[in-house]
Amino acid sequence: MENQLVAAQEGRITSAMQAVAEQEGIDAQVVRERVAAGQIVIVQGRRNGRRIVGIGKGLRTKVNASIGTSSDVCDVEHEKRKARVAEQTGADTLMELSAAGDLDAIRRAVLDEVSLPVGNVPLYQAFCETIRKHKDPTRLDPEYLFDLIEKQCEDGIAFMAIHCGINLFTLERMERQGYRYGGLCSKGGTLMIQWMLANKQENPLFEQFERVCEILKKHDTVLSLGNGIRAGAIHDSLDRAQMAELILNCELAERGRHLGCQTMVEGPGHVPLDEIEANIILQKKMSGDAPYYMLGPLPCDIGAGWDHITAAIGAAHSSMYGADLICYITPAEHLALPNEEDVEVGVKTARLAAHIGDVVKLKGRADQADKQCSKDRRDFRWSRQFDNLLFPEDARRILESRKSLSDKGCSMCGELCALKNAAVSLNTFLRGDKVNEA
C-alpha cells in the first residue's frame, strides 16, 4: 500500500489523491499539498472495492458509523447487516468496535462485507483477550499489543484510534482536578489508565510512539489519536484533564507527520454549544490544522432516546466551525447496542447535520444542490427536485403516501399553496434575470 503522506511530500500526485480531488471538485495539486502538510488524510478500503475517502481541510465533512459486538449482544451476522446498512445509507467510513466473540473473525467478516474504509480501536481486542486469558486487564503484555496492531493493519484496517495521549502527566492533571461529573467514558482509555496505575508504568503507546507510527506508516494506516479522557458530560467540557490530553495529541499529530504517518486528532464527546467553536479553534491551532474527528458531539446530557438529534445539533456546528469527520450517534446512545434501524437513522441524521455545516464551511460548493432544489421546488419539477435531495427515497415515499388528490403533488397547503398562487400573478417578477440561473 503506497504511503500517501510520503508520496505527497515527495511531490507526487497519487491515484488516491486524484480520486479525492475529483470527488470534491478541487485541484489535485491542492489535495497533494494539504496531504503533505498533514491537513488532509486519505483513508482507503482495503478488501472489497477499495473506497477512497479524503478527510480534512477544504473537503466535505465526512460521517463515520460505528458497529460492534458487546458481551451482552454478540452476533456477527447482525454486525454484518449493520455494516451493510451503514454503507447503503451513505456513511463515508465505518468503525468496527467489537468487544466480544471471535474478534479476529468478526473484524475480517466486516472488512469483507463493505467497501468502506474500516477503522477500529486496538485496545479493545488487546484487553478482551487479556481478560479471557488472565481474568485481569492489568496483565496486558505491551508486546502483545504491538503485535496485535500489526496484525490488524495486515488485515486491512484503514485507520486506528490509538490512545497515545494518556500518559502520567495527563493522569496527574486528572488526579489534581479531583472530580468528574461524567466520570470516564472511554472504554479503551479507562482500561489503559487502570493498567498504568496497577503497573506503575507509562502508557506503552505513548512511550513507544515512534514504534506505533512505524507500523502504521508501513501499511499507510491512518493514526487517529484517541481521546481516552474525553468529557462524558457537558460540565466536564474543556476541563484540565481533557485539555492536557488534547494538547498532547496535537503535539503527537505533528510528530507523527514528521515520522511519515498520516494522523488525525479525535475530539469530544459532550460539549455545550457555546464551547464547540473554541474546542475546534484550539485543536486546529495546536495541531497545525490536522483533521479533527469529532464524536458527536452532544451539547446536552438529557436527550437519551433522541440523542441522534442532540448530536445533529452539535455536529452541524462542528462542521461549520471546521471539524472534518463526524462520528454518528444513534437513538440507542447511552441505552443499548444499536440495531439496523438505529444505524440507518444515525447515519442519515449525521449526514444531514454535516451538510448543514458544509453549507457555511464550503459556501459556493456545498450549497449548489440546495439552490437547484429550491428552484425546482418553486417550479414544481418534482423529479429534478428529488435528484438533489439527500434522501430522495424517503421523500418519494412520503409524497406518494400522502399526495394531493387534485394534482398528485404536496398536500400540505392545498388551494392556499403559496408557490401556485405566486406562479399565477408573480411569475415574471420571481424569475427575473438576476436570479434565473437555471
**Same-domain check for residues 308 and 413:** no
**Same-domain check for residues 305 and 423:** no
Q: Is the pLDDT of residue 28 over 60?
A: yes
Domain end point (choices 329, 361, 393): 361
Q: Is the pLDDT of residue 429 over 90?
A: no
**Same-domain check for residues 92 and 148:** yes
**Same-domain check for residues 259 and 112:** yes
**Same-domain check for residues 382 and 264:** no
pLDDT confidence bin for 433, thresholds 50/70/90: very low
**Same-domain check for residues 99 and 121:** yes
Reference 367, options 44, 60, 50; nearest CA is: 60
The percent of residues above 90 in pLDDT, for the chain, comes to: 84
Domain membership flag for residue 206:
yes
Question: pTM, whole model, 2 decimals?
Answer: 0.94
pLDDT confidence bin for 333, thresholds 50/70/90: very high
Q: What is the mean pLDDT of residues 181-201?
A: 94
Domain membership flag for residue 389:
yes
What's the pLDDT at 418? 79
**Residue range 118-153, pLDDT digits in tens:** 999 999 999 999 999 999 999 999 999 999 999 999
What's the pLDDT at 405? 53
Domain membership flag for residue 438:
no
pLDDT confidence bin for 303, thresholds 50/70/90: very high
Distance CA 185, CA 122 (A): 17
Domain membership flag for residue 14:
yes
Domain membership flag for residue 222:
yes
Q: At what angle do helices 142-155 and 103-113 cross, to 10 degrees?
A: 20
What's the pLDDT at 50? 85
**Same-domain check for residues 128 and 252:** yes
Domain membership flag for residue 321:
yes
Domain membership flag for residue 436:
no
pLDDT confidence bin for 367, thresholds 50/70/90: very high
Domain end point (choices 327, 361, 395): 361
Q: What is the mean pLDDT of residues 52-75?
A: 97
pLDDT confidence bin for 214, thresholds 50/70/90: very high
What's the pLDDT at 189? 93
**Same-domain check for residues 352 and 374:** no
**Same-domain check for residues 267 and 291:** yes
**Same-domain check for residues 196 and 342:** yes
Q: DSSP letter string over 129-189?
A: HHHHHHS-GGG--HHHHHHHHHHHHHHT--EEEE--S--HHHHHHHHHH---SS----HHH
What's the pLDDT at 300? 97
Q: Is the pLDDT of residue 326 over 70?
A: yes
Who contacts 42 (Cβ-Cβ below 8 Å, separation ≥6)? 4, 16, 17, 20, 35, 52, 53, 54, 55, 222, 262
Domain membership flag for residue 408:
yes
Q: Structural domain of residue 139, as residue ranges?
A: 4-361
**Same-domain check for residues 406 and 267:** no
What's the CATH code of the domain at 356? 3.20.20.540
Q: DSSP letter string over 320-339?
A: HHT--EEE---TTTTTS---
Distance CA 231, CA 184 (A): 7
What's the pLDDT at 46? 81
- In total, how many domains does the chain have? 2
| Chain CA centroid to CA 416, Å | 43
